[in-house]
Structure 1
Amino acid sequence: MGGGNTGIQLGIVRGISYGVFGAPGIFMPQMRDLGSRLARVYLTWNQIEPQPGSYDWSAVDALLGQLGPGDRLWITVVTASRWATRQATDFLPASMPRDVAAYQLFLGALVSHCRGAVAYWQCNNEPSNAGLWSGSAADYADLATVFARTVRNADPDAQIVLGGCGFDVLGSNAGSEQRVFFDEVLARAGDAFDVFDVHLYDAPQRIPAHIEDARAMMRLRGIDRPVVVGEYGGPTLLGFPELDSVMQSVMMEALADGEPSLDSADLAAQGETPDRRAMRALYGKMAELPPTLQMFMQGCPPALEARRHRIACREIVTRNLLAMAGGVTLTLAWNLAPEVPNYRDPFNLMGFISDKLALLSYQHDELSRREPAAETFARFAALMSDATAVRRVDTDLGIVAMEVTRERGPLFVFWAEADPFTGEDEPPKLIEWPWATDTAHVCDVFGISRDARPASGHLSLGVSVTPLLVSA
């Protein structure tokens, strides 16, 4: 997965606040156990230079100190500072530096400190999202240009990632404010990045179109760069359009007083904010809500929680393969685990949106409990460890068929497209697949082996919404 592998790479995002709300913890051994050697980590300006000219390398050194041979990092540098940025905060949103020269000194010191350990550097995250970037597209393009020049001077071997293109862009119509934002960034800063980062959280079936959309946005500005997936995860609320009206109501209530401060001190002092009141009201009517919404809530019925886990396992495989069939060779799952041990707040709006995507959780203070999706990720990573390419096979069988090229021999993956929530209740489709060898190993994403015996050059399979992974 890491090291010198020039084929498929499966990474994992640690989270967005490494060392901000607590001590920077150990996590790379757990990632390696899952089969991943590439971690994406966020670091803020305020963490590293809390006062002008005074550097604190504790979080950075805690990160670098846990790397082993073959491990690699993708660092997203968040331009957030209580003294150095236009919007004073130690966390979010990022904003422009008050003094570009001071920013260059900070960034150059950071990249030099990490030289050789970081494969990818990224200037902030999803800048078209007002909650993550406080500034214009021109501001971001100017900063990205400075960022690229500084990183290239300090570590010419590192690659530079354009801040993530999220659902606010990919899910919007032509001419939307978010698309105009990204178009201006590409027009102004086309030379300031080596790879284009997309984030894939809505319906998996839309992934091929999103990958092509990203390439089309670049082509419009005469740019040809690889597309990488810096974040993916599912199921999410974005995959269930029927919930839009409910969630729009919640979001309107949550943002009634505008975007809340995300400085760590303000977050600690906040009481019953509008977003917490909105979430409390939603939980108050939990029993009346659609099951597709209930499954995202803490304390939902066990049967719904189990169903959501099964969907998450399927989407680890389907999201990756759909992106890879579109030419993507690098993906990162969102996310590894909570960054604060044993913290879970059902009335935290951001937690409601993404908490259940974590692959691991804490047992006491130890990051050791694997969620079902983590088991699937580990199985999939083992099967993909020598993969070099993925191809979608055209078929009239009414299923999705993928062929993975591997050094040890091909891997085929089959699944039926269906509703993510109810699709598992549908009967499998019986298919006959050409098969040249006398043996076949078949298992599903849950690790359950299936009995399959090739006969007369074909393999008989019952294909459902749960992907089957087949090799000789």
Structure 2
Amino acid sequence: MSGNSGIRVGVARGVQLHRSQLEPEPGRYDWSAVDAVLEQTDADTELWFTITTTSAPPGPAGYAAMVCALVAHCDGRVRYWQCENEPSNGSFGAAEDYVRHLIGFHAAVRAGDPLAEVVLGACPPRIFANPDEPDPERDFFLHVIRTCGAHYDLFDLHLYGDPYLVPVMVENARAALRAAGDEKPFIAGEYNHLLDADDIVMRNILALSCGIDRTLCWQLPVRSPCTSAFTELAFRLEGAKAVERITVPERPDAYIYDIAGTEWQVGWLRREHSVAEPESLVWNNIKVGSQPIYLRANR
């Protein structure tokens, strides 16, 4: 789902590939896993490939050659190329190592496909939840964004944890980019740790309302209540220009959103305790409770 200059609803498929799959021996490439994905994906589906390594790869020139060959092999089919997944977690190395890695990755992707977009290695959600607390992973990303603005196109923020912290995390991360003299579109490459249908709706609405440009649901089951919730959300968002929260006087627990450009609104009440149901609210003649509900807007 996209929320930039109008919401475009469609299908995106994210695939994570390790270097050992792609280059089992130096200079010998194996595209079989890549070709399987390309063969199973139609032209209307956006593809996102995350390329991972165990650590900063030895022989960076060889790694760059592999990435360039892979991107060229995909021949424009893959729009997004991500350099590692959550590289700040200690498995990759120091921030300086990732900076060098990202610069080489960006150059290799651009050489293979000048129109492809490079996604910064995903940022874990918690590190921008409270910027006043010391956090070595946040320091990692702060160093990267201060030095590598020219070497990636999109900032990926994973949206796990408390959904109501999504706007806070996005704003704090945006503030960090602005302080570095940079602005990037935001994308959410993963969410859905709860496998909960209501959470899928709420998390997407919260993300879209604060300008996240893409959301990708992690391991969405083929047939499940989560899939049904996602499908209905996509239907309600068709033609939408923006998602904007409506302030309800004296009800800070009311999360009512206007889906601008459509006939719909969506709303729910924040449940502060796991058992107690919040006092209901009547909105547009419809009773709103703790589960998301779609309402026709009075326009």
Q: Taking structure 1 as the reference length, what is the TM-score of the superposition?
A: 0.59
Instruction: State the match for 2:209 in structure 1.
Output: 325
TM-superposed CA distance for 1:220, in Å, is 1.6
Moved more, 175-184 or 117-126: 175-184
Task: Say if 2:8 and 2:239, in contact at 8 Å, map to a contact too.
Answer: no
Instruction: State the match for 1:155 in structure 2.
Output: 113
TM-superposed CA distance for 1:104, in Å, is 1.0
Task: Say if 2:286 and 2:295, in contact at 8 Å, map to a contact too.
Answer: no
When residues 371 and 168 of structure 1 are mapped into structure 2, their CA distance, relative to the original with a 3 A threshold, is same
Alpha-carbon separation, structure 2, partners of 1:420 and 1:198: 27
Provide, for residues 274-293 of structure 1, a one-character-per-residue CA deviation record: whole Å limited to 9, x for no partner: xxxxxxxxxxxxxxxxxxxx
Q: 1:116 aligns with which of 76, 91, 106?
A: 76
When residues 430 and 184 of structure 1 are mapped into structure 2, their CA distance, relative to the original with a 3 A threshold, is closer
Q: 1:390 aligns with which of 232, 239, 243?
A: 243
Q: 1:412 aligns with which of 265, 270, 276?
A: 265
Q: Which runs of 4+ in 1 moved over 4 A?
A: none
Amino acid in the other structure paired with 1:152: R
Task: Say if 1:104 and 1:150, in contact at 8 Å, map to a contact too.
Answer: yes
Q: 1:50 aligns with which of 24, 32, 36?
A: 24
Provide, for residues 346-372 of structure 1, a one-character-per-residue CA deviation record: whole Å limited to 9, x for no partner: xxxxxxxxxxxxx24xxxxxxxxx221
Instruction: State the match for 1:468 in structure 2.
Output: 293
When residues 333 and 224 of structure 1 are mapped into structure 2, their CA distance, relative to the original with a 3 A threshold, is same
Instruction: State the match for 2:225 in structure 1.
Output: 372
When residues 168 and 400 of structure 1 are mapped into structure 2, their CA distance, relative to the original with a 3 A threshold, is closer
Instruction: State the match for 1:177 in structure 2.
Output: 136
Instruction: State the match for 2:197 in structure 1.
Output: 313
The yes-or-no answer on 1:204 pairing with 2:163 is yes
The yes-or-no answer on 1:8 pairing with 2:7 is yes
The yes-or-no answer on 1:429 pairing with 2:280 is yes
Alpha-carbon separation, structure 2, partners of 1:386 and 1:397: 31
Instruction: State the match for 1:447 in structure 2.
Output: none
Query: What count of residue pairs does the alignment treat as equivalent?
Result: 293
> SS of the counterpart of 2:89?
coil
Instruction: State the match for 2:37 in structure 1.
Output: 63
Structure with bigger gyration radius: 1
Task: Say if 2:92 and 2:98, in contact at 8 Å, map to a contact too.
Answer: no
Provide, for residues 107-165 of structure 1, a one-character-per-residue CA deviation record: whole Å limited to 9, x for no partner: 001100112111111000111112xx331000001111111111112111111111111
Instruction: State the match for 1:345 in structure 2.
Output: none
Q: Taking structure 2 as the reference length, what is the TM-score of the superposition?
A: 0.91
Task: Say if 2:129 and 2:165, in contact at 8 Å, map to a contact too.
Answer: no
Instruction: State the match for 1:303 in structure 2.
Output: none
When residues 205 and 230 of structure 1 are mapped into structure 2, their CA distance, relative to the original with a 3 A threshold, is same
Task: Say if 2:129 and 2:172, in contact at 8 Å, map to a contact too.
Answer: no
Instruction: State the match for 1:19 in structure 2.
Output: none
Provide, for residues 421-469 of structure 1, a one-character-per-residue CA deviation record: whole Å limited to 9, x for no partner: 32xx5155232x4xxxxxxxxxxxxxxxxxxxxxxxxx31211110111
Q: 2:58 aligns with which of 80, 98, 102?
A: 98
Alpha-carbon separation, structure 2, partners of 1:397 and 1:181: 41
Alpha-carbon separation, structure 2, partners of 1:383 and 1:420: 29
Instruction: State the match for 1:402 in structure 2.
Output: 257
TM-superposed CA distance for 1:228, in Å, is 1.0
> SS of the counterpart of 1:415?
strand
Alpha-carbon separation, structure 2, partners of 1:465 and 1:397: 17
Task: Say if 2:264 and 2:295, in contact at 8 Å, map to a contact too.
Answer: yes
Matches within 5 A, 1:117-156: 117-130=77-90, 133-156=91-114
TM-superposed CA distance for 1:393, in Å, is 1.3
Task: Say if 1:7 and 1:329, in contact at 8 Å, map to a contact too.
Answer: no
Provide, for residues 18-53 of structure 1, a one-character-per-residue CA deviation record: whole Å limited to 9, x for no partner: xxxxxxxxxxxxxxxxxx521111011111111112
Unmatched tracts of structure 1, length 5 or more: 11-35, 80-93, 236-308, 337-358, 361-369, 434-458
Task: Say if 1:128 and 1:169, in contact at 8 Å, map to a contact too.
Answer: no
Provide, for residues 376-415 of structure 1, a one-character-per-residue CA deviation record: whole Å limited to 9, x for no partner: 1111122223323111112215211101123xx3310111
Alpha-carbon separation, structure 1, partners of 2:168 and 2:131: 13
What percentage of aligned pairs have identical amino acids? 38
